[in-house]
Homo-oligomer: A and B are copies of this chain.
Amino acid sequence: MYIDKAEQPGPAVTAIDLGGTAMKGSVWDRAGRELLRRDRPTPVAAGVLAIVAAVVDLHHELVSALHEQDPELSVQALGLICPGLVDPRGGIALYSANLGWRDLPLRELVSAALAMPVSLDHDVRSAGRAEAEFGAARGVSEALYVQIGTGIAATLIIGGEVLVGSRGRTGEIGHVPARPDGEPCACGQRGCTETYASAAAIARRYRSRTREPAGLGVEIDAGIDAEVVIARAAAGDDAARQVFDEAIQALAIALAGYTMLADPELIVLGGGLSRAGALLIDPLAAELTARLTWREPPRITIGAFAADAGRRGAAQAALRLLSPAWQ
């Protein structure tokens, strides 16, 4: 995909990014072009089976919308991604606190309902795969993609391939203990990286020091709120600077540990916080360099696909389910 092999109509795929609050659907052609989007809220309160039914409904809605837009294209596979712990080989949604499941055979459930091939992967691993194959980490053998939004998760790129791990539970850098026995994390542990460094944590920790209400930015959005904190830190606000410094330190501790272990050449940042650009990269690179001994630090850059990386990776995975001739 992403090479425009032919102009004649071919198969299309849907991609659904199943998040804790919203389900984001899209349709892609075999050249990797996004054709349309449809979103809807995730019916979390209605339970696991209602969520699965909503995925199936959203897929049908996408197919109908595509048919109106271009009757010659036919959807032939679905690329599904979700948060939590996901085993992509077995197609199992292992665990998600937000979505309320454990060991759910999500891929087979949806595939049976649609009578169509379905791929399932972790949302951030999918985003990292897109960056590795076509984005900022293209051509780099050893890299780490780190997505910083409401939480923090990563994709390990090892030998140019996305690491799935022994049961598909890789990349939980948000729960690497950056400050062991530090502040409590929602996961039950203490001092997890994302407790200090996620966009949500930056906004929350700043609010708790300044007692400002939620929604510092244009809307109530952790990413935007964190951007406001970063901008205030740059402008000299002491509380903002302290919260942002602690975020940078936690990130640098987690990244130094990974660098010591796996020796990546490149770190790619994605997710809402990566919109801060140089305001994020410059202090993070300085802190990471200071925390490494004997070695040059890996380069740090911003991802190519911003918020689209996950759905783009899901579409790629769905296209791979079709005949190799279509890729």
Binding site for B on A (CB under 8 A): 85, 95, 141-142, 154, 156, 158-159, 161, 163-173, 175-180, 187-189, 249, 253-254, 256-258, 260-265, 291, 293-295, 298
Residue of B nearest to A154 (CB): B261
Q: Is the beta-carbon distance between B142 and A263 smaller than 8 angstroms?
A: no
Q: How many copies does the complex hold?
A: 2
Whether B171 and A261, one on each chain, are in contact in the complex, defined by CB atoms closer than 8 angstroms, is yes
B261/A170 in contact, CB under 8 A: yes
Q: Is the CB of B263 within 8 A of A168?
A: yes
Q: What's the minimum C-beta distance from A10 to chain B, rounded to whole angstroms?
A: 33
Q: Chain B contacts of A176 at CB under 8 A?
A: 256-257, 260-261
Q: How far is the CA of A291 from the CA of B182 in the complex (A)?
A: 13
Contacts of A171 in B (CB 8 A): 261
Chain B hits for A256, CB < 8 A: 176-177
Complex CA–CA separation, A189 to B291 (angstroms): 7
Question: Contact between A142 and B165 (Cβ–Cβ < 8 Å)?
Answer: yes
Are B154 and A141 in contact (CB-based, < 8 A)?
no
CA distance A189 to B294 in the complex (A): 11
Query: How many angstroms from the CA of A170 to the CA of B176 in the assembled complex?
Result: 18
27 CB-based A-B contacts, threshold 8 Å = A85-B294, A141-B166, A142-B165, A142-B166, A154-B261, A156-B261, A158-B158, A158-B159, A159-B163, A163-B263, A165-B262, A166-B263, A166-B265, A166-B298, A167-B263, A167-B295, A170-B261, A173-B261, A176-B256, A176-B257, A176-B260, A177-B257, A179-B180, A180-B249, A180-B291, A187-B294, A262-B262
> Which of B161, B163, B253 is within 8 Å of A180, CB to CB?
B253
Q: How far is the CA of A187 from the CA of B295 in the complex (A)?
A: 12
List of B residues within 8 angstroms of A291 by Cβ: 177, 180, 189
- Lowest 6 A-B CB distances belong to which pairs? A165-B263, A166-B265, A172-B260, A142-B166, A176-B257, A187-B293
| B-chain residues with CB within 8 Å of residue A262 when the two chains form the complex | 156, 163, 165, 170, 261-262
Q: Is the CB of B85 within 8 A of A295?
A: yes
Candidate in A156, A169, A261 with the most chain B CB atoms within 10 angstroms: A261
Apart from the given pairs A177-B257, A261-B262, 13 other A-B contacts in the complex at a CB distance below 8 Å: A142-B166, A159-B159, A159-B161, A164-B263, A166-B298, A170-B261, A170-B263, A176-B257, A178-B180, A180-B253, A180-B291, A187-B294, A257-B257
Which residues of the other chain, B, contact A254 by a CB distance below 8 angstroms?
257
Point out the residues of chain B lying under 8 angstroms from A295, CB to CB: 85, 95, 167, 169
Say how far A183's CB is from chain B's closest CB, in angstroms.
14
Contacting residues, chain B, for A164 (C-beta < 8 A): 263
Q: Is the CB of B260 within 8 A of A175?
A: yes
On chain B, the residues within 8 Å of A172 by CB distance are 260-261
In the complex, A254 Cα to B261 Cα: how many Å? 10
Instruction: Tell me the nearest residue of chain B to A254, going by C-beta.
Output: B257
| A163 contact set on B, CB distance < 8 A | 158-159, 262-263
Residues from chain B with a CB closer than 8 A to the CB of A188 are 293
